[in-house]
Chain A
Amino acid sequence: MSNEAKLWTAPAVIVVGFCIVMLLGIAQPSLHTTMFTIGLYALIALPLGLIYGQGGTISMAQGSFAALGAYTSAILCTRFGFSPTLSVIPAVVMPACVAFLIARPILRLPELSLALVTLSLGTVVAVGLQRGGDFTGSFVGLSGAPPLPLVGNHPVWVATTLWAVVLIVVIMYSHFVHSARGRSLNAIRVDRLLAESMGVNVPFDLSIMFAIAAGIAGLAGWFYVHTLGYIAPDSLGAHTSANILFMVVLGGRRAVLGPVLGATFFTFANDFLPGAETHGLFFGTILVLILLLSPDGILSPQAMRVLRRLFSRRDRVSRARLPGTAEVTEASR
């Protein structure tokens, strides 16, 4: 596959998939809402795929950054009379700035410590929002956030707008991976010290990526609060961060479409599985199986190799069963 084709495969898959599901939504309107949920998760998970899959830097704070964006926009709109069109900028900038400020000291930590620190960050944000009194709406949260500009609350338009943003992020991600910066991020994942000795400014590059990931999560938070009109401290918290990490690991952390596939699987499974207890059991089992069979997720070279082997074997078996095939094989000998 040529480089140009590689760049546009993921966006094309997104467009085709989106169109198919939205058309199916004419018969089953709840699919439009499901598409919104998938898009929201995908928007939070994609930048995590970038910093974790490409940069090897884990973050368990994506949900909290989305909450920061959602709260920033909700507070500005409900307390200070901002319009959502204007509040989108602080909703993105606020989590990005917080992420950039904390990135430098924490990003030098090893993977497990970094996961714990970012998870704790989520707890700090949640407690801050709960104890914020009237300003943050305390435990109850904030309601009355105005609907999205131009598209309002119409499920089809809301989903279309959100997926347009997801598509832009996917295009940027695909191009980034093949750029010099993308390569330097890959170098950081493989060997930080060596990357530095190749001229990569590791702390700065990671901080910028961490901030961009947080900013995009903030944008997802903005979509969330202006679609539902409500946000509470536990709406997008530590559990969302954990789910987002699950989606990235499941879908494929190295593949551009991995987080989107993970978000799709997670949302549909959530919709179809009965009872909360079965969720934990099902997702836990799936995670263990994936980590054992294909540590880089479903969209990974290992998984593709297994699938290819499986299909070629089935192909061979079906060809052997075809009348005449045996004679041909015999004759060719």
Chain B
Amino acid sequence: MSRPEDNTLSVLNLSASYGSLVVCRDITLSVKPGEVVALIGPNGAGKTSFIGALCGTVSAKGQVTLGTSRLDGLPTHMRTRLGLATVPDNRGLFAPLTVAENMRLGSMFVVRQRRDEVVDRAMSYFPFLKDRGSTLAGSLSGGQQQMLGIAKCLAGDPRVLLLDEPSQGLAPIILDEIVKVIGELKAQRLPVLLVEQNYGLVERTADRFAVMVGGRIVMTGGKSDLADRDRIGRLFLERRKTTLH
């Protein structure tokens, strides 16, 4: 997070597919340090597949760069070790393991000398985790699981954070907490790519946004453009077919 190198995530002409079904086509975007970029769109637009393509769990063509490192073509674990951290929409927790074990797994590839410091910093965003070390992750409430999911990723000292629908199923009070943490991460100059359907969360956190419909980015804009709800709403209602090769 506090590394001096350039941590810009750049995506150039990325297309993702499941076999012959292309779910994202020619996606180009970038997330700079200290910036929160939101990717919004209706259900089935291809947002989660795009996240999968960035992580390497969905097959993709195109260029993905983190700072000076090329990520495309690398296996998933190498991308993570290079600093790409993802909180998936299912929170990405090891449910049968405890909170402490989840945090330890998150920090597995941080150099030993810095491990404690990084874990402490990750847990400082969500202080309740300190008292829940021996609680099973699966027995936490939905909101607490979401926070643990984010903390676990932060324990890996990432260079960029991908958040897939962090507001899913959360109470407004928990959402406030998430907004606060995203703000703090932004202040720490961590690039955050937020995939979200909750317009309120996007308005409160994002610096820039892109609307994805039918696997393509159909609109991009800055914070002020988010006020044009009618236009964005019409785009959401547009139906575009995903294409076959």
Contacts and interface: CB of A to CB of B under 8 A. Distances in A.
Interface string A189-228: 0110111111111100000000000000000000000000
A56 to B, nearest CB: 11
A199 B96 contact: no
Interface string B68-98: 0000000111101100001010001011110
B94 A196 contact: no
Contact of A194 (B81, B94, B156): B94
A294 interface: no
A187 interface: yes
Contacts of A198: 77, 80, 105-106, 108, 156
A195 to B, nearest CB: 8
Given A183-B105, A184-B108, A199 B94 contact: no
Contact of A180 (B75, B94, B108): B108
B101 interface: yes
Given A183-B104, A193-B57, A194-B92, A199 B109 contact: yes
B154 interface: no
Contacts of B109: 180, 199
B40 interface: no
B108 A183 contact: yes
Nearest to B96: A190
B222 to A, nearest CB: 31
Contacts of A199: 77, 80-81, 108-109, 156
Interface in A163-200: 180, 183-184, 186-187, 190-191, 193-200
B185 interface: no
Contacts of B75: 196, 201
Given A194-B92, A194-B94, A197-B55, A202 B77 contact: yes
A151 B106 CA distance: 47
Contact of A187 (B86, B88, B94): B94
Contacts of B105: 183-184, 186-187, 195, 198
Nearest to B83: A199
A201 B108 CA distance: 12
Contacts of B95: 190
Interface in B34-84: 55, 57, 75-78, 80-81
A193 B76 CA distance: 9
Contact of B57 (A187, A197, A201): A197
A183 B108 CA distance: 8
A303 to B, nearest CB: 17
Nearest to B80: A199
A201 B92 CA distance: 17
Nearest to A186: B97
Nearest to B112: A180
A200 B95 CA distance: 17
A68 B76 CA distance: 35
Contacts of A202: 77
A190 B81 contact: no
Contacts of A187: 94, 105
Interface string B99-125: 001001110110000000000000000
A183 B104 CA distance: 8
Contact of A200 (B57, B86, B108): B108
Contacts of A180: 104, 108-109
A192 to B, nearest CB: 11
Nearest to A190: B94
Contacts of A190: 94-97
A199 B85 CA distance: 9
B97 to A, nearest CB: 6
Nearest to B92: A194
B67 to A, nearest CB: 17
Interface in A273-325: none
B77 A201 contact: yes
A197 to B, nearest CB: 6
B87 to A, nearest CB: 10
Contacts of B57: 193, 196-197
B94 A197 contact: no
B86 A183 contact: no
B100 to A, nearest CB: 11
Nearest to B90: A194
A197 B86 contact: yes
B108 A196 contact: no
15 contacts: A186-B94, A187-B94, A187-B105, A190-B94, A196-B75, A197-B55, A197-B76, A197-B77, A197-B86, A197-B88, A197-B92, A198-B80, A199-B80, A199-B81, A199-B109
> Which 7 residue pairs spanning A and B have beta carbons closest together?
A199-B80, A190-B94, A196-B76, A199-B81, A199-B109, A201-B77, A180-B108
Interface of A: 180, 183-184, 186-187, 190-191, 193-202
Given A194-B94, A195-B105, A196-B80, 18 more contacts: A183-B105, A183-B108, A184-B108, A186-B97, A190-B94, A190-B96, A191-B94, A197-B76, A198-B77, A198-B80, A198-B106, A198-B108, A198-B156, A199-B77, A199-B80, A199-B109, A201-B75, A202-B77
